[in-house]
Amino acid sequence: MPRIGESAQRRGAFITVEGGEGAGKSTQIARLAATLRARSGRGVCVTREPGGSPRAEEIRTALLGGLAKPYGPFAEALLFSAARIDHLDRLIRPALRRGETVLCDRFIDSTRAYQGAAGGLDPGVLDALERVVVGPTRPDLTLILDLAPEAGLARAAARAGGQGADRFEAETLDFHIRLRGAFLAIARAEPARCAVIDAGRDPDSVEAAIRATVAARLPELLPGEGTRGDAA
């Protein structure tokens, strides 16, 4: 469980990266991590959800294998939450307390978008889960990589090279269109935390937009670059 007074102990920065399938999250997190390691003078912890700790990775295998699908979006949200509790306790909060920058591939907004907006789970249930599971450990910045679902699914399929789609990739195009709308709605609702990045461009252009956004929103991480503003 989150601890009282956590915010006072927390010294690092927490950045999450969100978006639909094949939006380029892993590609861009690797690039941003390299930039921050070279420029920020702080440790950088790269992680992902579901997963990120040994126990949470076991839950990931079950979730992406479709084990919880027959039980519906509430049961799936509970399993994602179980993985998140372990991930926060074992990896994210200790790294933040050490003053590191945590870069996390998916976090609470994926639960909101996949199990909530696209899966039909009541937003009140999701809010309650976030309060007890995440508490005060909220991202300082969330980069939402926005891409047409057709393009993202094509990228993911090309990368898979004939291997089958996982539990979520196998959803209908309509599901993925609802997902995109959900991520954009989250960004509109929380503009101070979220920045939308056009992920339909080449990887170098997407990287430049992310770097400018990080420099503008969290200038202490990229000293000397903070005056150019968001370039999403």
Residues that bind ligand Z5A (CB under 6 A): 19, 21-27, 49-50, 80, 106, 110-111, 114-115, 155-156, 159, 166, 168-169, 202-203, 206
Please give the Cα distance from 61 to 64 (Å, whole number): 5
Please give the Cα distance from 143 to 188 (Å, whole number): 13
Smallest gap from Cβ 216 to ligand Z5A, in A, equals: 21
Smallest gap from Cβ 96 to ligand Z5A, in A, equals: 18
Distances (CA, A) of 93 to 6, 103, 106, 179, 210: 9, 12, 16, 28, 24
Cβ distance to ligand Z5A smaller for residue 67 or 156: 156
Residue appearing with tokens 């200790």: 94
* Residue 158 near residue 174, CB atoms below 8 Å: no
* Residue 135 near residue 2, CB atoms below 8 Å: yes
Smallest gap from Cβ 103 to ligand Z5A, in A, equals: 12
Smallest gap from Cβ 168 to ligand Z5A, in A, equals: 3
Cβ distance to ligand Z5A smaller for residue 206 or 222: 206
Cβ distance to ligand Z5A smaller for residue 36 or 79: 79
